[in-house]
Amino acid sequence: MEAPPDFGRFVLDQAKSERLVVQPRMGFADPCHMRAGLVATGSARAVTVGTITLDAHTRVGRFDLADQALRSGIPLNGYPLVTHPLETTRWVTSVQNAEFPVQVRHGAAMPHEIFRILCTVPLTATEGGPVSYCLPYGRTPLSRSIESWSSCCRAFAGLRDRGVEPHLETFGGCMLGQLCPPSQLVALSVLEALFFVQHGIRSISVSYAQQTSPEQDLDAVAALRRLCRRLLPRVEWHTVVYAYMGVYPKTTVGAARLLAEAVKLAVLSGAERLLVKTQVEAQRIPTIDENVAALEEAADFALTMTKSTKPVIDSDSQTYVEAATLVESVLELDNDIGVALRKAFSRGRLDIPFCVHPDNKGATMSCIDEDGRLGWESIGALPFGGSVGRGMERPRSAGRLLDALTYVQRKFDSGSEV
């Protein structure tokens, strides 16, 4: 049997040739459909990696419901990795090779069974994190998620004893998808990467989700890369940009414009990989063909940019200063990153706007200013001094929240600034 591909090394090798790797967010319950999606992704006119996104029941550990759905023909919104037989999953993923690695995406705060299958098949690339896959998606205590992710990372790192390099991507840079200020996204992505390293992972990608301001997003990815160069000197890492994860444009033209901005962000920032979205995101789950079309559209646009543009230069932007402050404030709490993360949230040094999880203080608030930049309206107990990150309280209302949530959709559907 051929050894599983090295996901991280593949992406970094493409970066040496200035080739942006593009990836769909694809998951189907039916094994034949899932395999067909991987084949189509690998055959796209682009440099691609494959995706197997898991279903909602599997993410929360309700494998009984996933099994019941399969037996009853009830549609699932992803691939039930734990429920399908191992040999079925091995057949589905047999299309991967050194030039087409596959990543499993899930969303589980307690991913023991998912990692057990990953290590058994084996499938050597996945993503998530003890904070980013806990706080947004349920009420699992943060301490339990941290404990679970600690043991899963150690088990995953054990694949190296079998001659396989496992790869983990932080989801911290995508916290809640929208309305989390970029500095905190950067800090969470870095902190989860450090958590992975502490538990034995040596091949990592750090995420950042496109937000409301192209200029601010460039600062954010530059800050992310700068912090990784400083804090991850002995591991292989790359950056991955996500096309906007919030309320998507309803029009085809608006969706195409937003994807183009995501490509520009990836290329100009020097990111090595891009998670794309399709032109039908606001209406329904995209088909395989629609996913492939989005991959090719993104790749074509990236090729028009690579010879005429250069990555953004590092600077002490406000985003960098805030992110570095957050990271350093957490790291000083304990040498164990998991313990430090628990203490940081209990003391409000990390505090996610609009997150209702019991372990999140909920004392911070974000806002979009007149220039479209996403920042702090109130900072709670965040460790910002001087003028950095200082916000002003304004009356909160459902109307203001709805305006913020739909800002990007309205901007790109209208073809003008909001």
Does residue 410 form part of some domain? no
- Dihedral sign for Cα 195, 198, 200, 205, please: positive
What CA dihedral angle connects 194, 197, 201 and 206, to 10 degrees? 20
pLDDT bucket at 306, cuts 50 / 70 / 90: low
Beta bridge pairs of residue 209: 242
At residue 408, the pLDDT reads 82
Percentage of the chain with pLDDT > 90? 80
Euclidean distance between CA atoms 322 and 343, whole angstroms: 19
At residue 397, the pLDDT reads 62
Q: Is the pLDDT reported for residue 393 higher than 80?
A: no
Decide if 129 contacts 195 (C-beta within 8 A).
yes
Q: Helices (DSSP H) in 44-181: which residue ranges?
A: 56-59, 63-72, 86-92, 112-120, 142-157
Does residue 373 form part of some domain? no
Q: Is the pLDDT reported for residue 58 higher than 50?
A: yes
- For position 116, which CATH number holds? 3.20.20.240
Q: What is the mean pLDDT of residues 259-268?
A: 95
Domain ranges, residue 162 = 7-305
Residues 336-370: pLDDT tens digits?
999 999 999 999 999 999 999 999 999 999 999 98
Q: What is the mean pLDDT of residues 228-249?
A: 93
Does residue 399 form part of some domain? no
pLDDT bucket at 315, cuts 50 / 70 / 90: confident
Does residue 224 form part of some domain? yes
Does residue 94 form part of some domain? yes
DSSP 134-150: TTTT----HHHHHHHHH
Residues 197-223: pLDDT tens digits?
999 999 999 999 999 999 999 999 999
| Tally of CB atoms within 10 A around 335 | 9
Q: How many domains does the structure of the chain reveal?
A: 1
Percentage of the chain with pLDDT > 70? 94
Helix (H, G, I), strand (E, B) or coil at 173: helix
Does residue 254 form part of some domain? yes
* Angle subtended by helix axes 337-347 and 142-157, to nearest 10: 160
Does residue 265 form part of some domain? yes
Mean pLDDT over the full length of the chain: 92
Does residue 185 form part of some domain? yes
At residue 387, the pLDDT reads 46
At residue 266, the pLDDT reads 96
